A = this chain, B = another copy of it.
């Protein structure tokens, strides 16, 4: 069965009843699971994590837009987090039995449907982007809701779908497809912040490191140690084990060893299996040898 994860971000984090109503709407879609949702009052923003097949997640996202457009007015919305739409961002993530190309196609289908039904302009981002200048969410969202009308009037910012001006109350939406993101931290057995920062610089893409790694060095004051905190944005192309081994080697250079690592939140099974395969030198392993995967694909 195709399994797609979807993590819509909406611009409402202060009215629990409104958010709960949206959660109910998602849960009501057959075959869709709402894995998690949380609101941040200072950001005035909520994040839903749901999963299902293409038809299910599409239906859930449409139901979410319907409620968000009715309940959220960005003209009176304030919060610390940048935003430009009532439903601000909708990424589709391939998890199992589905390709990135299929998630891109789904993003385009949902984008067209949202534009058509709600008259909201839609920008495609990440793997669904059709324009290199509009691949990163930050670039698309720069200027936020308040600057959106002016931005949309400039060259290169006509939306991928929908009207050429913002929806009066719901702004615009960014919809796309991306790989699952893994939040991964490595704690070092030292209190030397300079070591964590040097290692972070060595492995992150922006300063010459691995293409799908974002990293920063932090001090964990209460424990007297330091941490290399990372986002792995494509675990197939830059796998966890390679990042771990590189951090370990770089730390050795300073006489520092790895105390432990931690995965924050969810991780796809395939990302862990790849580490097992690497270290155990397992040849010819197929994902349907994992009993649980077999269970979900056969009858």
Q: Which of A244, A263, A283 has the most CB of B within 10 A?
A: A263
Q: Which residue of B lies closest to A278 (CB)?
A: B279
Most chain B C-beta atoms within 10 Å of own C-beta, residue among A5, A34, A180, A291:
A291
Copies in the complex: 2
Q: Which of B33, B180, B292 contacts A269 (CB 8 A)?
A: B292
| Residues of B contacting A70 in the complex (Cβ-Cβ under 8 angstroms) | none
Q: Which chain A residues numbered 261 to 290 have a C-beta less than 8 Å away from chain B?
A: 261-263, 265-269, 272-273, 275-276, 278-285, 289-290
Q: Which A positions have Cβ atoms within 8 angstroms of B?
A: 3, 5, 27, 33-35, 51, 95-96, 180, 240-241, 244, 258-263, 265-269, 272-273, 275-276, 278-285, 289-296, 298-299
Of B3, B241, B267, B283, the residue contacting A290 (CB under 8 A) is B267
CB-defined contacts of A276 to chain B, threshold 8 Å: 240, 272-273, 275-276, 279
Alpha-carbon gap, A261 to B285, bound state (A): 10
**Contact at B275–A291, with CB atoms within 8 Å?**
no
Contact A283:B261 (CB < 8 A) given known A35-B298, A276-B276, A294-B35 = yes
Given A3-B295, A291-B95, the answer on whether A285 and B263 have CB atoms closer than 8 Å is yes
Return chain B residues, CB-CB under 8 Å to A260. 281-283
CA distance A182 to B35 in the complex (A): 31
Structural contact, A33 and B295, CB atoms closer than 8 A: yes
Residues of the B chain whose Cβ atoms lie less than 8 Å from the Cβ of A275:
275-276, 279-280
Q: Do A281 and B295 touch across chains, with their CB atoms under 8 A apart?
A: no
Q: Which residues of B contact A295 (CB under 8 A)?
A: 3, 33, 35, 51
CB of B258 within 8 A of CB of A291, answer no
> Which one, B272, B294, B296, contacts A273 given CB within 8 A?
B272
- Indicate if the CB atoms of B291 and A5 lie closer than 8 Å: yes
**Cβ-closest chain B residue relative to A240:** B280
In the assembled complex, the Cα of A260 lies from the Cα of B240 at a distance in Å of 20
CB distance from A25 to the nearest CB of B (A): 14
Chain B residues with CB under 8 A of A265? 289
Is the Cβ of A280 less than 8 Å from the Cβ of B35?
no
Give the residue name and chain of the B residue nearest to A292 (CB): B269
Q: Are A262 and B284 in contact (CB under 8 A)?
A: yes
What are 21 A-B contacts with C-beta separation under 8 Å? A33-B298, A34-B299, A35-B291, A35-B298, A51-B295, A240-B280, A241-B279, A244-B281, A258-B281, A260-B282, A260-B283, A261-B283, A263-B285, A265-B289, A267-B289, A268-B292, A269-B269, A269-B292, A275-B280, A278-B279, A292-B292
